[in-house]
Amino acid sequence: MGEERGQGARVVDQVRLRRAGVVAFAVGVAGALGFFGFFPGLPHVIDSGAVLVSLAVGALARWGVRAWWTRKWERGRGGMPWR
């Protein structure tokens, strides 16, 4: 019974990590596109370079959230449930 709870908690943590990564990616992409679209002084055109940079910013945001969550998990519970 205790092992089943452990597996359930592990799945819940994996789902939370995935959701956090998706949200971080979406916020990073939207923020970068917003910057390129509305920042004064830049040409107000979203070109392919801006899209690529926005995707890179989103990936960096996702990586940062996963790293933060992993560090937080290691400090709090003594191990990562998703590995």
Beta-carbon count within 10 A of 66 CB: 16
pLDDT for res 31:
94
Report pLDDT digits (tens) over 39-76.
767 666 778 888 899 999 999 999 999 999 888 877 77
pLDDT for res 26:
97
- Domain map of the chain by residue range? 2-77
Structure tokens belonging to residue 64: 């940062």
Q: Does pTM top 0.85 for this prediction?
A: no
> What is the Cα–Cα distance from 35 to 29, expressed in whole angstroms?
10
Asked if the model's pLDDT at residue 27 lies above 90, the reply is yes
> What is the Cα–Cα distance from 64 to 4, expressed in whole angstroms?
31
Split at pLDDT 50, 70, 90, the class of 5 is low
